[in-house]
Each structure stands twice: as C-alpha cells, then as structure tokens.
Structure 1
C-alpha cells in the first residue's frame, strides 16, 4: 500500500439489490459505469447490510457497530453525537470529510464527523417515523403502501429526481473545487443517492432503455406456503393483500426500478468523470455499495425489512487498480466492515486506536489476497418485527431467529432462492441447535427487546411533544457564502478568473 494517504470516494445508492446488477449476473440491467468499476476492481459477491432498513443500516455502516450497541432500531433512531463514525476517524487522521446526499441522520447532530455537508437530506430528521411495539396491530400510516407498484411508470420530475440531481451537482463541484484549491489534506467524499428507492418512477429516457417484454418477473412468485410470520406482517404493513397488484403492475415496477438503476449509473458516471478530469483519480480509492436491497416482488414481498437475499444483500466494489488487483471475493462480509477498512487506509494500512470497540472487520485481507473473514451478523427491529429479528450468515448457511417466530435455516449454496427451511429437517437439528446456542451467547434477547421498547417510548413522547407549539426542525440546512462566489468586487477580476479556472491557463504566443 502506498505511503501517501489515498483519497476515498464512497458512492452509495439506496435500496439497490445486488441481484439486479449485471456484474452479479443480471441479464437485462445496463450499468456501463459501475460495470467498468467492477471489471477493474474487487467485487464482493456476498456482501450484506447489517440491518435491512435505511437509517439503522446507515448508522451501523457509519459507526462500524451493530444496531444494539448504538440504538439503531428503526428509521427514527438517533445516532448519539459521541459515537465515533468513519468520518470522525478519517477527519482525525487529517482528511477533509464531506457528504453529498442522504445519510438519514435523526436528531440535532446532522454532521457526525463530516466537515462539510453539501446538501440537506431527503428524509426527515425528527423522531416521527418511530416503530411502536406497544401497538403491533396498528399499521404505521407514514410507511410504504403498494401505490409505488400500482402507480409505477415514467414521469417528468419527482421528489427523488430533484434530490439526486442536486446531490450529483454538489459532488461534482466539490471535486472541481478541491482540484483548483491549495488544499493538501486528502479528501473523503461520500456521495449518496436516493435512487433506485421506490416510488418506482423514472423519466421516459430511462424507462425506454428497457423493452417491456424483456423485463424479468420474480423467480419466486407469491405463494401462501412461503408466508412465514414475519413476511405476513410485512405484507400487512405495506397493505399487500392477495389481488392487490397484478403481473402488469409488477412488471412496470421492475422496469422503472431498472431504469432508476441506469439513472444512478449515469449520475455516478458524472462524478467519476469529474474525478478523472480533476486529475484526482490515480490516488483515489473508489468504493461503491448500498444500504440494503429490494425484494421487487420476490416471494410476494417488496422493499426491504427482511433477511431474504433480495432485501439484505448489497453490491460492494473496491476500485483502486494501483493498489488492489481486480478479482472477486466469495466470503460473506458486510457494510459494517467499511469503517475499519477506511480507518486502516487512512492510517498507513494499520488499525488506529479505536475509541470504542468496533464490530466490523477490515476488508483489507480480502483485498490483498490474505485470508479474510466469512461472517455477517445482523439485527432488525423495524417495521414488521415484533421482537429483534437476528441473523447469522456464515459459510454456506444463513440462520434467522426471532423469539416469537419459527427459526429459519437456509443452505444458500444448495438453495440460493431460500425455498427450503432446514430448521425443521431432522438432518439439520444439530446445526440448528448450534446456531440457537450462538444466539443465546451473543444476545440477551429479553434485554434487547426491552431496550427497543424503551427507546420507542422515549422517542414517541419526544416526537409528539416537539410537534406542539413552535417547531424547531433538526433538518440540515446547507449554507453557502454568496459573497465569495462568482464575480465580486472583493477580489480582482483577473485573480478571480485565475482562481476559478481549472486547469490553470497558459499564455499562448
């Protein structure tokens, strides 16, 4: 590894399923920019989030710690301001840390180690989206329903397009500003798009990149016998009954989703082009990943919120041809592993002195041809759960446990579609019992359950109280000093133009 600290460009897409990308075998979706990164970089074939929901997944990713350690239970959970994130570790190591886009921070701290936050967030920063296990039969009114599917199709503009166009613009501007400045600190820029997250709508340019008849339908369509208790609760949460949607609507939703992935690819392509044009690409490590996947109708399920592969698996690429050879990693890793990986890159390849224990494990052994870990631990306490839903992925097996529900055990090598639950099979009782024993050793499930309830009750009261009388929002407000932009009389015109031009002008004869 080179002695010079590398820049780190972390690219994220929201709700992007690994199974929907061509470099993981999809035959229809088009992603030329990401596919190039995959061809030239290290692709992780079995990467997972640690909690299949936006805010808990991102909190875990940022902190390198499991949700139970940091209170990352649902989409209204607060990441404590004294929790070190990868941005803190990089900034402490001398980096300029910046975020353009979504990270779904809730609470008054909207930076969490980022020195610059270039946009606001697309999601609210208050506690209004809390889950309520005290009233499990009451459907949360704020949450997904099936309108994303029944209304799927092309659009001219949308809320998410407005956001992601802004995210891309500010990411490009950051790179150009960095290149034409005199800064000597390395940068860490996180660019986080909200697409291809539903609603499933995208401009016709992207809708028309795909032919209607080429859109593949779910490999495992809805069937009553596939409906484990958690899946049944999820369908209740997003109001999906038998007969709610038809095949044409499913195909439309998947077509729009694929178009949204191509839109993401184009937007990230603009950022990558700015990186190259700025001459910053050779000393920059590019990482691409997501926060969770999307079931897209598989098993009759949509969105995320479960431990099935479509929901929990994410893409992950590390691209740095001058540092790491191209290849593929078969072992199971997680986005929680990014914090120690980034921290080691910033610290000359060695682990820093962590202020708190981290649950993530560095990906650098995988990247340098050494033996790396093959394990993912997951915790989910969001919508559809009525108790902590715990997951262990190790080797060829995935084990899912929640106290009120039957266990699930899948052999993903023999059964990649997760059709055969081995937890009740006589030949697998010993393995199931081993996983159960491990769950008992790792978690005090009763204490965990109570911690979630306590957090929900606190945030429910605070959310209700804060909406009464004068409301003081926590949403991040980007601020720009217009007095230093463009042409101003505080600087000589020639000096201003020289400062803004990149590359510097040369005198021609």
Structure 2
C-alpha cells in the first residue's frame, strides 16, 4: 500500500449530547469555534445516534460495525472478544499504522483490538467488576453514578479527567509530529484520539468555567413533572438516586455550566490537534472524523447521564471532513456510529473481505450526495434495565420496545421532545403493528435475555475469583523504551538532531 491512501484522524468525545450543540441548535450558547469550522468544511450529520447509550457497548459497536447482541457488548464490564474484527484490524490489514490515544473502555486482557500502538492507559478499569446483575435485587450498585456529580458541580483547579485528557492530547500531537518526521512515511496512519470530557463529574478548570456566565446557562427545557413517565426512566432515577436527592436549581445550573465548559475544553484540544495537522503538512491528506459515544440527559425529563433512548441520551455529533473529496453539506437522514467501520474501510480503498456480517452500512453515499439509508437500530442491556431494550429510528419515527415495559412510539417531526406517546393513537395502529412485527421477526428476545444472564453470571464468577490471592491487572500498561528517546550514546548527535527537527534543514 502507498501513501495515496488517506490518513485517518478519529476524534471522539465522551458523553457529548448533540441536541445541545450549536451544530444543531443555532440558539445554543455553547462555544465550539473549532468544531463549527470543521463542520463548515465537512459533512455534518444532523441525526446521528449511538447504538447503545453506554460507554463500553457504544464504543464496541462503533469499532466493529455490529449490534451489541451480536458481539456480547452488554454493559460496561463486557469483554469485546479478540476474534471480533474492528476497523483497526481491517485498516491494519490494508496497510495502515493504527494507533489509539485515550479511552476505549476495553475489558479483558486484550487492550489493543487491532491497534498497533496505544499510548495511554484507560481511565476506566479493564476487569469485570462493573458487571450488571439481573439476578439480584433492584438495589443500586455501590460503584455506580449517584447525584454527587450534580450536587458538587463547579470549577476546579485539577481533576482526574483533566489529567487524563491532557495526556491523551499530548501523545496524539507527538504521534502526528513523528509521522511528519518519519523517513519511511509510505504507510498511512489511522489515529484515534478519545477524550473523556465532557463526561461527568461536572467539574472543569476556571478558565473554561469563566467562558460562560450563569445567565448563559439554560435550565432543562422539560422537567420531570412535565414529561410523561415510563418504567425505564423511573428505574434510572432510582439507580442514580435523583428521586431521593434534593437538588437545587442552582446545582442544576452549575452542572450544566461545568458541562458547557468541558465541551469548550474538548473543542480547544481538537483545535490544537487540527493546528498540528496543518503545521506538519498532514492536513491535505488526512480524513477527519469527529463523533461522540453517547449523550447526556443533563436534567431533561428529570434524567441525568445516559442509558435511555431519548434524544439527549442517544443523539451524538458526527462530522466527516475531507474537503478535497466531499463538498460541505448537512445530512438529514438518521445514521449511527455503527456505520463508521464500513465507511472507513471504503474510504481507505476497500479491497478486503469482511470476516463477519455487519449491521453497519457505509456512509459514503451520504458523503457524496447520493442519498443513503435513513435508519438506526439500537439495543441496550446495561444498568437500569430488567430485560433487553430496543430502539428503531426510521424516518420521522422512533419506536422503543422492551418485553417488560410499555411500548413507546414518537413522531419526532411533530414532537421533538418526545412527550406524546402514539401507541394508543388509532392513526398509528398500522405503523405500530409493523414495528412490533419487525422486532418479532428479527430478535429472539428470550434468547438475548438468557445470553445476557449467562454472560453476567460468568463475569461475576470470574471477577470474584480473580480478586482472590495474587491479582493480575488487565489494565493497559503503556511502555516507553527510554533508551531510544532523545539523545543517547548509541546515537550520532548530528543525526538525532537532524531527524528530530521539523521541518528539516539542508544537511
């Protein structure tokens, strides 16, 4: 393979909800100048979704192009099997260097899944300790979210997440500089840069907090009392204790204030990475993808965090930017991050056979203005569920189904806040019956439920056993060979300085 293939830079934000952003809401006070410029030069997907609104399942689907039930991506302690191909495997097979800087929430001993290099450890644990327990009672896991992220929201000098993301971006920039200085640069690269902001806890440095005034921060547009309730939402409220925690209006505003600041922090990091592409001369042949893993309810409907199929939880930003290939445009059809694997493979030149079936579909027809699909399938089997939860988004409609809860059907064109459940509307009876039949034809939900239970039981046993005696960590341990860095007596001084300087000067 030659450098005629485009380089690929994938930028991922964690828990960044799309409906809030000025990419989609012109009245939004959120400041993201670098992403706005990227969208102006690229293809912006106005109705992009994740396929499972939780960190690990969403990321595994994004990497494999497959639905959670097909790969066992049930919850945040699920293992992505090493024999499931990811886009990193396919691109590597096509001649790409593949590298990851940041979060991907891999659980289990394989912490690479096709990446040649990984520069940081993960911010979250790699073991099975966070497995959901459908065999247990409805009590809240001690390791799970509570409302302290909201009640303690505000500015900070430093945080765990700032430590992590600063390291992520530092290594990503260094990788780009190294590629520009590489004498054997005939291999294209695919670099994934995955930050953990604006994920809660809602705390951000003072400089980003100060970019917004309290008056800039809108409160939720739909309160818990104004939104129709449903059993899944009630379980979530109990799970993270919002139903038993007294929260003031100011605390809600503080949480959103810090979240806005965290989005601006992410935007600045993206700006720094784009500047690095420009100054190294890599920009002209680098395809850029920006996406999120899931959203955040941020108090809408009285809900927080993710884990539901309402818009603020499951809609994500998605931009593909390659101005020399695709004219800037906005795509209205509904697509998902599951569609990115076949998209990346096609844009990299194709020519490889897929080793498994894919549920994801290439976005290239959308990118080239030739139309494309208008459908998203979602599955969720994580916290707050008692059985598999499914979503079908097609055209104007969204259908949500679980065997243990009442169905929900919304016309988002007429009802963007998802207030009016149409399941009892006689005018929608035929559509409702078709959705129900589609699920009956395409899912064996009893079998999926049993698969989830079996997986949870296995992982709980393994986690318990491995915590006894000598503990061997699966967390990724980045290794740096200091003997090959900077200046050593095994190197020629002039050669080191010549090769490390960019741009090069004449010998």
The residue aligned with 1:172 is: 173
Greater shift, 175-184 or 103-112, is seen at 175-184
The residue aligned with 2:158 is: 157
Secondary structure at the aligned position of 2:338 is classed as: helix
1:339-368 CA-to-partner distances (Å, cap 9, x unmatched) read 000011122xx4631011111000000001
Secondary structure at the aligned position of 1:449 is classed as: helix
Secondary structure at the aligned position of 2:391 is classed as: strand
1:367-390 CA-to-partner distances (Å, cap 9, x unmatched) read 011120000000000000100000
Structure 2 Cα separation of the partners of residues 116 and 3 of structure 1: 19
Would the aligned equivalents of 1:306 and 1:312 in 2 still touch at CA under 8 Å?
Answer: yes
The count of corresponding residues between Structure 1 and Structure 2 is 504
Query: Among 266, 273, 276, which residue is 1:274 paired with?
Result: 276
Structure 1 Cα separation of the partners of residues 352 and 496 of structure 2: 41
The residue aligned with 1:453 is: 453
Structure 2 Cα separation of the partners of residues 488 and 460 of structure 1: 48
Structure 2 Cα separation of the partners of residues 426 and 88 of structure 1: 49
Would the aligned equivalents of 2:227 and 2:419 in 1 still touch at CA under 8 Å?
Answer: no
Deviation at 1:506, TM superposition (A): 3.8
The equivalences for 1:387-398 within 5 A come to: 387-398=387-398
Would the aligned equivalents of 2:96 and 2:187 in 1 still touch at CA under 8 Å?
Answer: yes
Structure 2 Cα separation of the partners of residues 473 and 236 of structure 1: 32
Over 4 Å off, 4+ runs:
none
The residue aligned with 2:375 is: 375
1:110-132 CA-to-partner distances (Å, cap 9, x unmatched) read 00000010111000000000000
Secondary structure at the aligned position of 1:265 is classed as: helix
CA distance 1:389–1:351, change in 2 (3 Å): farther
Structure 1 Cα separation of the partners of residues 44 and 246 of structure 2: 38
Would the aligned equivalents of 1:340 and 1:351 in 2 still touch at CA under 8 Å?
Answer: no
Deviation at 1:315, TM superposition (A): 0.2
Secondary structure at the aligned position of 1:22 is classed as: coil
The equivalences for 1:62-461 within 5 A come to: 62-182=63-183, 183-223=185-225, 226-241=228-243, 244-347=246-349, 350=350, 352-461=352-461
1:434-467 CA-to-partner distances (Å, cap 9, x unmatched) read 1000010110010010000000000010011111
Structure 2 Cα separation of the partners of residues 244 and 431 of structure 1: 41
Deviation at 1:138, TM superposition (A): 2.1
Would the aligned equivalents of 1:44 and 1:329 in 2 still touch at CA under 8 Å?
Answer: yes
Deviation at 1:135, TM superposition (A): 1.1
Structure 2 Cα separation of the partners of residues 68 and 351 of structure 1: 28
Would the aligned equivalents of 1:344 and 1:352 in 2 still touch at CA under 8 Å?
Answer: no
CA distance 1:136–1:46, change in 2 (3 Å): farther
Structure 1 Cα separation of the partners of residues 351 and 364 of structure 2: 11
The residue aligned with 2:472 is: 472
Structure 2 Cα separation of the partners of residues 136 and 31 of structure 1: 43
Structure 2 Cα separation of the partners of residues 218 and 424 of structure 1: 28
Structure 2 Cα separation of the partners of residues 391 and 118 of structure 1: 35
Would the aligned equivalents of 1:285 and 1:320 in 2 still touch at CA under 8 Å?
Answer: yes
Structure 2 Cα separation of the partners of residues 300 and 351 of structure 1: 48
Would the aligned equivalents of 1:396 and 1:413 in 2 still touch at CA under 8 Å?
Answer: yes
Would the aligned equivalents of 2:297 and 2:305 in 1 still touch at CA under 8 Å?
Answer: yes
Gaps of 5+ in 1: none
Deviation at 1:242, TM superposition (A): 5.8
Would the aligned equivalents of 2:3 and 2:188 in 1 still touch at CA under 8 Å?
Answer: no
Would the aligned equivalents of 2:334 and 2:394 in 1 still touch at CA under 8 Å?
Answer: yes
Secondary structure at the aligned position of 2:427 is classed as: helix
Q: What's the TM-score once normalised by structure 2's chain length?
A: 0.98
Secondary structure at the aligned position of 2:410 is classed as: strand
Secondary structure at the aligned position of 1:11 is classed as: strand
Would the aligned equivalents of 1:153 and 1:256 in 2 still touch at CA under 8 Å?
Answer: yes
Deviation at 1:37, TM superposition (A): 0.2
Structure 1 Cα separation of the partners of residues 390 and 357 of structure 2: 21
Deviation at 1:99, TM superposition (A): 0.3
Deviation at 1:4, TM superposition (A): 2.1
Would the aligned equivalents of 1:136 and 1:386 in 2 still touch at CA under 8 Å?
Answer: no
CA distance 1:36–1:299, change in 2 (3 Å): same
1:86-118 CA-to-partner distances (Å, cap 9, x unmatched) read 000000000000000000000000000000101
